[in-house]
Amino acid sequence: PPLAGASPGALNPFDRRLKRKQKNWAALQAEPAKCDYLREEVGGRIADRVFDITRTFPLALDVGSGRGYIAQHLTKETVEKLIQVDIAENALKNAIESEIPTIRVVADEEFLPFKADTFDLVVSSLRYVFISFNRALCVCVLQIHQVLKPDGVFIGAMFGGDTLYELRCSLQLAELEREGGFSPHVSPFTAVADLGHLLSRAGFNTLTVDTDEIQVNYPGLFEVMEDLQGKYILCMGESNCSWNRKPLLHRETMLAAAAIYQEMYGNSNGSVPATFQIYYMIGWKYHESQTKPAQRGSATVSFGDLAKIEGLLKRGKK
């Protein structure tokens, strides 16, 4: 099918054709190991969550797999067969080999080309970096729920709303001062409060959403920008693709932003931090064998009694 979101719209703030070009370009860059360590770190943490589930998954799907940042941490004892899907064919051509038998498919994540109730496990690492809480993200989560088997599990990670807050704030303040207004230079991110509602509305239950932060220190703002363009953002294929993006920043605005960055967030040793907030989410597709919550009003102990436990334990010891 054609790429969803190929034209501007109120419910679709992203240029997905540009996104595909960015990811294809990023996959062809030399020495990918220098710019992939953030994705590999998050991929390893998702794999740890897969290992926490004491079962073997006959068939798994990696949505937005890129070069296979999750698969390299998994074992064939946990996942017997894996299908990797990505919008960029160059990313799949340069995928990291793993011990798991793997099939690679080029497809848009909004139109997964699989039948319903197919996979025992679906994973996704930082694929939704450029999708905020809008129609696109809702469609993607619904697609994942549809292709999962009953009692199947989805484990994913995406950038949180506080990602690169130091950079965004510095750029906005500098543009307001020097140009009288500002436009987005980093793609918007989802708020953690939205994720639980989104997964629940898609049909998932037994939900878990937790957050983590990875902080990287740089000599200054210009090094942050260079690293983002050359590593985390462009080489990850995740540069800003909003329809209202601004093509460039004036030199005076950049110098002002660098001074603001250093003044507001600078470390004592002269470096500046860049924060990446990561949301991890786990959701299960309903099956009648799953544990169900007790009926309302069936509790035999009040939460008010919990405060008395410590006193009862002390008396018991005496």
**What are the tens digits of pLDDT across the range 57-84?**
999 999 988 888 999 999 999 999 999 9
Length of the chain: 318
For 175-218, what is each residue's pLDDT tens digit? Answer: 888 877 666 656 566 777 778 888 988 899 989 999 999 998 99
Q: Rounded to an integer, what is the distance from CA 49 to the centroid of its chain?
A: 15
Helix (H) or strand (E) segment spanning residue 44: helix 37-51
| Cβ(50)–Cβ(78) below 8 Å | yes
| Cβ(185)–Cβ(134) below 8 Å | no
Distance CA 267, CA 112 (A): 45
Distances (CA, A) of 216 to 35, 39, 223, 277: 13, 14, 11, 11
pLDDT at 35: 63
Cβ density class 55-89: b for 16+ within 10 Å, e for less: eebeebbbbbbbbbbbbbbbeeebbeebbbbbbbe
Distances (CA, A) of 267 to 21, 170, 171, 216, 270: 37, 15, 18, 12, 5
Parallel/antiparallel/unpaired status of strands 204-218 and 102-106: unpaired
- The DSSP output letter for 185 is S
pLDDT at 302: 77
pLDDT at 298: 82
| Cβ(83)–Cβ(60) below 8 Å | yes
Distance CA 139, CA 46 (A): 22
Q: What is the pTM of this model?
A: 0.77
Domains of the chain in sequence order: 16-162+189-217+275-288 (3.40.50.150)
The amino acid at residue 143 is Q
pLDDT at 183: 64
pLDDT at 24: 63
Distances (CA, A) of 86 to 1, 65, 222: 14, 6, 31
| Cβ(246)–Cβ(191) below 8 Å | no
Distance CA 35, CA 231 (A): 4
Of all residues in the chain, the percent with pLDDT exceeding 70 is 76
Angle at 68 between CA 66 and CA 74, to 5 degrees: 150
Six token digits for residue 153: 């599990």
| Residues of the chain where predicted confidence (pLDDT) is lower than 50 | 1-13, 129-133, 232-244
pLDDT at 182: 66
Six token digits for residue 220: 């200054």
| Cβ(128)–Cβ(160) below 8 Å | no
The SS3 of residue 162 is: coil
Six token digits for residue 139: 């469609």
| Cβ(80)–Cβ(57) below 8 Å | yes
pLDDT at 20: 66
| Cβ(204)–Cβ(145) below 8 Å | yes
pLDDT at 271: 94
- The DSSP output letter for 190 is B
| Cβ(120)–Cβ(59) below 8 Å | yes
Rg over CA atoms, the chain: 22
Average pLDDT value for the chain: 80
> Which residue has 């798994």 as its token pair?
60
Q: Rounded to an integer, what is the distance from CA 51 to the centroid of its chain?
A: 19
pLDDT at 13: 46
